[in-house]
Amino acid sequence: MPQEENDVKTMTCRQLGGPCDERFERQTADEVIEAQDRHLREAVRAGDASHREAHDEMKGRWRHPRQSMAWYWGVKRTFAELAEG
């Protein structure tokens, strides 16, 4: 089996500032962030109030990308330090 297909790491909604333990298994931090954004949008659309605060923060990050770099690099660093698998 090719190595790159196994090169997946897992982060949770909670690690990304959200309220639940939904797991995102992706190859890059950017893909994890994308998956979390989609998860937050879907949760809020489904009426899940517990995800609203994280959803608003996510929207704020897109509006103010410069101020959000610390969050972004924190996620990148956490992801880089994760064990694979």
Tokens found for residue 55: 């959803």
Output the residue with the shortest Cβ distance to Zn ion: 13
Question: How many Cα atoms are found within 13 Å in the side-chain-facing hemisphere of 20?
Answer: 14
Neighbouring C-beta atoms of residue 49, cutoff 10 Å: 9
Q: Hunting for tokens 């605060």 — which residue is that?
A: 53
The interface with Zn ion within residues 9-48 (CB under 5 A) comprises 13, 18, 20, 22
Least CB distance from residue 30 to Zn ion, whole Å?
Answer: 18
Least CB distance from residue 63 to Zn ion, whole Å?
Answer: 21
- Closest CB to Zn ion among residues 41, 76: 41
82 touching Zn ion, by CB under 5 A = no
Question: How many Cα atoms are found within 13 Å in the side-chain-facing hemisphere of 2?
Answer: 2
Residues near Zn ion (CB under 5 A) = 13, 18, 20, 22
